[in-house]
Chain A
């Protein structure tokens, strides 16, 4: 998440906007690193399955298929940074492959976990490409909205809801931590701020769609943080 927003920030004349974009990207990568570390510690994966599929595919598409436009040094930095984020996502998938047994739906036989990953990834690829082609153009959103802008906030809302569902279902902080929740909350909040002030600037571009997503994501992330706060000290699942 946030890769191309951050890169767009480099092109933006506003230094503050660039800083907000970069901070959002850094907080999201911090969340990824914390998820990986926590998963190794708790022997349980920390990103819900569907969120993971969409995330890794989003990064794949916007690193390799629709890379951020640019010239020379800027482009190389962009590619490198995007690649690092994609790599972090791949590591998250690896933690899932290592620890999926810790939290697997009872009806899913072990032999089906790899096919389910394949189904998840392919579905995410189809949906994200579809949204990119169908909606990420001036007929639906402002010309400033970078590639992946439309899907990223929808996906972010879905992720926030899935994190809440995961915490409620596990009823413990297994694979999760306050650090993850806070860096996710701040990363999303800054991404929304960046979009609000520096992307959706044209007349009529700041529509209800965007505001609803910004508010709901923040709200859901806050609920998740509060949930984890209340779950502190509960024993992890065996």
Chain B
């Protein structure tokens, strides 16, 4: 399709430049999020998009690429750019579904046998389709500027809440990463401001936008805590043993306890542990290969407890410590 550049510019004149830039930024960050989710999923051998969110996303993008379009002519950039963005999202979402299909058993509910993977996907996408089509017909009076905004905003909130639930349930960063969390937050935030600017300003929209931002921030903070704050720097030392989470027996209190996700730990940290500690790594490998101590099904837990002996010597008192008050 050949597009006349001046007509593109004219088309954009309808909305303010800021709104259009935000809309494009949102689309790009959504693409980035999806690409990162796929790459991270392949690397960690698990999926990174919660199942329900994946079903709703792929269905929504299918419907708004092939069935519903914004009002206007195809030459109007407001129309074709939206449809193009939806199509790219849809294509990437197919990639996410493929990742899920490959690695579904890495994180499946214990009560769901693997042979129900296909029916579960069919049920999820089928019900998402019914609800989204239903919403498109029922609520079209309040989304005249942009068809599908109701279901899209609701799905964003559901998705953000599901990401928080996923990280809390997995208690590890497997399949997830900070870049995913950040680009997802930016995508939702830009999309929200874009929708505000084009006229979605009632209590309903604003509360959805604020809540989505809140849940995205909670997700980012939780993931950050998991990746960077769990291992206090001062505890890096001689690791003497390891076992999977949860530990099968109480760990003596004299051992500082480090919960480390080997799947997502930085190379530096893993090297620190590996350095001259072959026995430990054998322990870790055994821990990761064996069944979970709680008897749960699914992939072995990726978090392991590493018992570290502190090597710090007691500090000799310095002159300032002898003062009757604390300087620090």
Chain A contact residues, CB within 8 Å of chain B: 50, 105-108, 119, 123, 126-127, 129-131, 133-135, 139-141, 154, 157, 161, 165, 167-172, 207-213, 215-216, 219-220, 227, 231
Residues in chain B within 8 A of chain A (CB atoms): 52, 109-112, 127, 130-131, 133-135, 137-139, 141-142, 150, 157, 161, 165, 167-172, 202-205, 207-208, 210-211, 214-215, 218, 222, 226, 245-246, 297
Q: 23 interchain pairs (CB within 8 A)?
A: A105-B168, A105-B171, A107-B171, A126-B208, A126-B210, A127-B157, A127-B207, A130-B204, A134-B202, A134-B203, A135-B138, A135-B150, A140-B141, A140-B142, A171-B111, A207-B134, A207-B138, A208-B137, A209-B134, A209-B135, A212-B130, A213-B131, A220-B127
Which residues of B sit under 8 angstroms from A135, Cβ to Cβ?
138-139, 142, 150, 204
Give Cα A123 to B157, complex, Å: 10
Contacts of A134 in B (CB 8 A): 142, 202-205
Please give the distance in Å from B34's CB to the nearest CB on chain A.
Answer: 23
User: Which residues of chain B are within 8 angstroms of A133 by Cβ–Cβ distance?
Assistant: 202-204
A165 to B171, CA, bound (A): 18
Q: Quick one: closest A residue to B169, CB to CB?
A: A105
Contact (Cβ within 8 A) B111 A216: no
* Contact present for B208 and A130 (CB under 8 Å): yes
Task: Select the residue from A107, A108, A127, A169 with max chain B CB neighbours within 10 A.
Answer: A107
With A and B bound together, what is the CA distance between A118 and B190 in angstroms? 27
In the complex, residue of chain A having the shortest beta-carbon distance to the beta carbon of B223: A107
Which residues of B are found within 8 Å of A169, using beta-carbon distances?
109-111, 169
Given contacts A107-B168, A123-B211, A168-B109, contact A157 B222 (CB under 8 A): no
Cβ contact within 8 Å between B141 and A212? no
- Write the nearest CB–CB distance from B304 to chain A, whole angstroms: 13
> In the bound complex, what is the Cα–Cα distance between A108 and B246 (angstroms)?
14
Residues of A within 8 A of B139 (CB): 135, 140
Q: List A contacts of B297 (CB < 8 A).
A: 171
Tell whether, in the assembled complex, residue B111 and residue A107 are in contact, meaning their CB atoms are under 8 Å apart. Answer: no
How many Å lie between the Cα of A140 and that of B222 in the bound state? Answer: 38
Given contacts A135-B139, A207-B138, 11 further A-B contacts (CB under 8 A): A105-B169, A107-B169, A126-B208, A129-B203, A130-B203, A135-B142, A154-B131, A161-B52, A161-B127, A171-B109, A213-B131
Closest to B132 in A: A212
Task: State how many angstroms separate the Cβ of B224 from the closest Cβ of chain A.
Answer: 13
Q: Are B110 and A168 in contact (CB under 8 A)?
A: yes
Cα(A161)–Cα(B203), bound, Å: 27
Contact of B127 among A105, A131, A216 (CB under 8 A): A216
By a CB distance below 8 angstroms, the chain A residues around B171 are 105-107
Question: With A105-B168, A105-B171, A107-B222 given, is the CB distance from A208 to B142 under 8 Å?
Answer: no
Report B-chain residues with C-beta under 8 Å of the C-beta of A208: 130, 133-134, 137-138
Instruction: From known contacts A134-B203, A161-B52, A169-B109, infer whether A209 and B211 are also in contact, taking CB-CB under 8 Å.
Output: no
Is A216 a contact of B138 with CB atoms below 8 Å?
no
Cα distance, A12 to B43, chains bound together (Å): 60
Residues of B contacting A165 in the complex (Cβ-Cβ under 8 angstroms): 109
A87 to chain B, nearest CB (A): 27
